[in-house]
C-alpha cells in the first residue's frame, strides 16, 4: 500500500525521529473510536468520590475515578438544556431575541424554588436572558420557562433532551426534567457523559459557549447574582461550565479551561461542601495543566496521510486533521520513542463527503496506552459512473 504524503512523514520525523507506520487495513473504525483510552497518569489523590478529566486535544483521559457510575447531576443537568437550545439556535429554529412567556403555573411552582432567576409572573423574557439565567444564575425557573417555550411542555422538552443526549454519545445517562431537580432517581448521568456533553458544547457551539459560559455575574430584575463556577478568576483560561448541588448529589462541578491552546475538561461529584468543591476543582485543574504536557502533532487541515478509494471519482483521498491534534504526555516523559499509525477500514468506498470521519491516528508511547484521534476526508469523492468503475476494475487487474 502506498505510504502517506512525504510532508506528513517529514513532520512526524521532525517531531519524534520516527516515520509514520504503514496504515492497517481491515480494522473496524468504530471499535477504535468508541472509547478514548486512558493514559498512564502522574499520581493524583482526589478529594472527590467521583472525578474525571480529559484533554480535548488528544482525547487522553488524564484521571478517572468511578467515571461510569450513575449519579444524580443536580444542576449540572442544565448543560443538556442549554445544549438543546444552542442546537436550535444554530439551526435557526430559535432566536436569541425571541421572547418566551412566564406562565402563572410555572411561576407558582418555581419562584424562589432552589436557585432562581426571580422571573416575574406574566412577563416575557428573551431566550438570551433565559440562557444567562440558566448558565450564570442556575435558575430552575429559567430552565422550565425555556423548555415550555421551545417544546410546549417540559415533558416534551425532556424528550428532546434525551434524544439529543443519545445523538452526541451520552450512552449512560437519562434526563427526567430540565433543571436537575431531584426526581426520585429518574435523572441519572455519569462523569464521563458530563465530560462528553461539555466537549460537545465547546466544539459544536464555540461562539455560543464563549458568549454564555464565562460571565462572572448576571443581573435580572434588579438582583445581581454571581456565577458559582469555582474556577473563574482562580485558574487561568477557565471559561465554564456548570456547578450542581442537592442533598442527595452533594456538590459537583463540570468545568473547562484552556491554556496555550490546550483545553481540559474536568468533572467532580459527591463532595460534601461548597468550599470543598472550590478547593478540589482548582487543585484538580491545576494538576491537569502542570503534571501533563501537550506535544503538537498536526495543525487543523494538515494532511496526515492518504488512503485508496474504491469505486470513486478519485483513486485516493487525503486524510486530514479536523482540528489541531496533539499528544498528551506526563510532564517528565521522553518523546523520542513515540510512534504514529494511521488506521482505517479500507480501501474506502465512495461516495465520501468532505469532512467525513474515515480514519484514526493512533499515537503510541512506551508505558502508555495509545491515544486515538480522528482523521477526516480532505475532499469529497463522488461515486464513479459505470465507465469509471469499469476503468478502475481494469487498472486493478493490471496492478496500475
CATH class name, domain 299-386? mainly beta
Compute the average pLDDT of residues 14-40.
40
Whether residue 41 is predicted with pLDDT greater than 70 in this model: the reply is: no
pLDDT cut 90: percent of the chain above it:
76
Average pLDDT, the chain: 88
Q: Given pLDDT bands bounded at 50, 70 and 90, which one contains residue 364?
A: confident
pLDDT digits (tens, 9 = 90+) for 109-129: 999 899 999 999 999 999 999
pLDDT tens, 64-106?
999 999 999 999 999 999 999 999 999 999 999 999 999 999 9
The DSSP bridge pattern shows strands 303-310 and 348-349 to be parallel
Furthest CA-CA distance within the chain:
79
> Coil, helix or strand for 294?
strand
- The answer regarding whether domain 50-292 maps to CATH 3.40.710.10 reads yes
Is the pLDDT at 339 greater than 90? The verdict is no
Q: What percent of the chain has pLDDT over 70?
A: 86
Encode pLDDT of 225-283 as tens digits. Answer: 999 999 999 999 999 999 999 999 999 999 999 999 999 999 999 999 999 999 999 99
pLDDT at 9: 38
Sequence-ordered alpha helix ranges (H) in the chain:
6-16, 29-33, 78-91, 104-110, 127-135, 140-151, 154-167, 191-204, 206-212, 274-290, 386-397
Q: Is the pLDDT of residue 32 over 50?
A: no
Question: Does the pLDDT value for residue 390 go beyond 70?
Answer: no
**With 70 as the cut, is the pLDDT of residue 393 above it?**
no
Give the number of other Cβ atoms within 10 Å of residue 271's Cβ: 25
* Helices (H) then strands (E): counts for the chain: 11, 18
Q: Which residues of 199-231 are buried (b: 16+ CB within 10 A; e: fewer)?
A: bbbbeebeebbeebbbbeebebeeeebebbbbb
The distance of Cα 271 from the centroid of its chain, to the nearest Å, equals 23
For the chain, what are the domain ranges?
50-292, 299-386
CA distance 244 to 229: 10
pLDDT at residue 16 is higher than 60: no
Place of cell 478568576: 233
Over 80: is that where the pLDDT of 138 sits? yes
Q: Nearest-CA neighbor of 160 among 108, 67, 82? A: 82
What pTM was computed for the model? Answer: 0.85
The Cα 292–Cα 294 span in angstroms is 7
* C-alpha atoms less than 13 angstroms from C-alpha of 69 in its C-beta half-sphere: 14
Q: Is the CB of residue 100 less than 8 Å from the CB of residue 146?
A: yes
8-state DSSP, 370? -
Quote the pLDDT of residue 12.
Answer: 38
Active site residues: 75, 78, 138
Q: Is 163 annotated as a binding residue?
A: no
In this structure, the strands spanning 21-24 and 339-343 are: parallel
> What local confidence, expressed as pLDDT, does residue 2 receive?
32
Do residues 342 and 372 make contact, with C-beta atoms less than 8 angstroms apart?
A: no
d(CA 16, CA 11): 9
* Residue predicted with more confidence, 267 or 36: 267
Amino acid at each position: 500500500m502506498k505510504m502517506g504524503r512525504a510532508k506528513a512523514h517529514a513532520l512526524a520525523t521532525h517531531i519524534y525521529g520516527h516515520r509514520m507506520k504503514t496504515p492497517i487495513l481491515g480494522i473496524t473504525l468504530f471499535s477504535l473510536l468508541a472509547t478514548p483510552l486512558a493514559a498512564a497518569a502522574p499520581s493524583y489523590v482526589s478529594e472527590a468520590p467521583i472525578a474525571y478529566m480529559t484533554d480535548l486535544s488528544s482525547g487522553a483521559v488524564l484521571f478517572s475515578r468511578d467515571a461510569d457510575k450513575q449519579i444524580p447531576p443536580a444542576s449540572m443537568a442544565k448543560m443538556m438544556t442549554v445544549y438543546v437550545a444552542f442546537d436550535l439556535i444554530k439551526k435557526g429554529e430559535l432566536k436569541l431575541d425571541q421572547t418566551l412567556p412566564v406562565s402563572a403555573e410555572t411561576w407558582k411552582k418555581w419562584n424562589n424554588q432552589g436557585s432562581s432567576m426571580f422571573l416575574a409572573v406574566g412577563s416575557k423574557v428573551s431566550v438570551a436572558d433565559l440562557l444567562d439565567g440558566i448558565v450564570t444564575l442556575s435558575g430552575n425557573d429559567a430552565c422550565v420557562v425555556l423548555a415550555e417555550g421551545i417544546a410546549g411542555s417540559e415533558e416534551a422538552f425532556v424528550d428532546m433532551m434525551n434524544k439529543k443526549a443519545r445523538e452526541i454519545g451520552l450512552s449512560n445517562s437519562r434526563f427526567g426534567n430540565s433543571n436537575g431537580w431531584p426526581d426520585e432517581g429518574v435523572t441519572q448521568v455519569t462523569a464521563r457523559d458530563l465530560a462528553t456533553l461539555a466537549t460537545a458544547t465547546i466544539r459544536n457551539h464555540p461562539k455560543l459557549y464563549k458568549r454564555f459560559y464565562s460571565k462572572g455575574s448576571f443581573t435580572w430584575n434588579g438582583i445581581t447574582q454571581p456565577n458559582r463556577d469555582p474556577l473563574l478568576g482562580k485558574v487561568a483560561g477557565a471559561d465554564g461550565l456548570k456547578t450542581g448541588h442537592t442533598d442527595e448529589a452533594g456538590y459537583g462541578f463540570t468545568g473547562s479551561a484552556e491554556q496555550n491552546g490546550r483545553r481540559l475538561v474536568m468533572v467532580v461529584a459527591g463532595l460534601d461542601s461548597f468550599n470543598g468543591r472550590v478547593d478540589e476543582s482548582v487543585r484538580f485543574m491545576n494538576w491537569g495543566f502542570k503534571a501533563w504536557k501537550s506535544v503538537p502533532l498536526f495543525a487543523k487541515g494538515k494532511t496526515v496521510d492518504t488512503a485508496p478509494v474504491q469505486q470513486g471519482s478519485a483513486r485516493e483521498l487525503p486524510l486530514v486533521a479536523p482540528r489541531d491534534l496533539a499528544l498528551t504526555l506526563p510532564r517528565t516523559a521522553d518523546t523520542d520513542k513515540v510512534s504514529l499509525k494511521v488506521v482505517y477500514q479500507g480501501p474506502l468506498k465512495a461516495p465520501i463527503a468532505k469532512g467525513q470521519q474515515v480514519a484514526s491516528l493512533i499515537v503510541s508511547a512506551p508505558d502508555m496506552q495509545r491515544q486515538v484521534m480522528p482523521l477526516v476526508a480532505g475532499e469529497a469523492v463522488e461515486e464513479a459512473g459505470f465507465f469509471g468503475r469499469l476503468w478502475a476494475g481494469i487498472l486493478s487487474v493490471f496492478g496500475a
